[in-house]
A = this chain, B = another copy of it.
């Protein structure tokens, strides 16, 4: 008989992890301990919803809006968690506090989980809540924030709303990942995907905005209802700049005076090249610059902030972008 390998008792994880703190199953844990079973439907069927809020200078921005979206997503997916909004807020604050991070990327997740009887019926599954705080990260690196992103407009179809509701924040990213590889092959930093009519949809983790004749336009349908996207609407109203959601064609994007993208992961980020061609002057435009400035100024507004109380210990995190 052949020799069989040994069955180990415990997984020895060789993966390097960033600093950070997670919450799952009633425990606060180092981020490397936050692992889900390969049998969880959140992995096996990407049957999960989530949200990402960020902490800047020790406070969450617009946390209530992220909570609204998360709890609405749970309802739409027929999921429940044993925590209300106040409890989720406390868990998120604890993750940040225990991580010591003053600038953090804070993700909270509900997975379908497993059925205790191992049935294939999602109604039998015990839904699972997980949260974690890791160092703040941005879609654009410092050089890209300074000089602008170079994006490629692909002909890839963003997963349509008739398949997956984009207002439920989800992990269905294979189309976006394919877009990234297509963009890299064309020398660009990131990609934009289109909708069923060939108009601009969104990119990997961001909403898209075009400025023409001083007015701002962003795609209306088939896109994530981004919180930073909403912030652009709010800032535009305050600054008396026209900002509407509608149809944005590739041609309109290419000929725009300015283009920028928005994400919790980075805020407002300039786009200065599309498929090798400069956008407008090829430099960061005045409206993009103004929105970026106002966006970061908003972080000082007490109405927007949920302040995190930290234990007395040094910040172990890395500075933000």
Contact = CB atoms under 8 A, between A and B. Distances in A.
Interface of A: 1-2, 4-18, 21-22, 24-25, 27-39, 42-47, 77-78, 94, 97-98, 107, 109, 112-114, 116, 118, 120-123, 126, 130, 132, 134-135, 137, 139, 156-160, 162-165, 168, 170-178, 180-181, 184, 205, 265, 309, 311-312
Smallest CB-CB A-B distances: 3 pairs: A35-B35, A45-B173, A46-B46
A98 to B, nearest CB: 5
A252 to B, nearest CB: 22
Contact of A171 (B18, B45, B123): B45
A21 B7 contact: yes
Contact of A157 (B78, B118, B160, B180): B160
A163 B175 contact: yes
A33 B10 contact: yes
Given A45-B176, A159-B164, A172-B174, A39 B134 contact: yes
B160 A163 contact: yes
A46 B172 contact: yes
Given A46-B172, A170-B174, 19 more contacts: A1-B309, A1-B312, A7-B30, A8-B27, A8-B29, A9-B29, A11-B35, A15-B114, A15-B126, A18-B39, A34-B38, A35-B35, A35-B37, A120-B137, A120-B265, A122-B177, A123-B184, A163-B175, A164-B174
Given A163-B175, A172-B46, A39 B31 contact: yes
**Interface hub of A32, A107, A162 (most chain B Cβ within 10 A):** A162
Chain copies in complex: 2
Contact of A162 (B43, B44, B156, B177): B156
A38 B118 CA distance: 22
A5 B25 contact: no
A94 B8 CA distance: 13
Contact of A97 (B4, B9, B29, B116): B4
Given A11-B25, A98-B7, A122 B78 contact: no
A174 B32 CA distance: 27
Contacts of A28: 5-8
A71 to B, nearest CB: 18
Contact of A122 (B39, B113, B180, B205): B180
Contacts of A311: 1, 4
Contacts of A97: 4
A163 B159 contact: yes
Contacts of A4: 94, 97-98, 311
Contacts of A126: 15
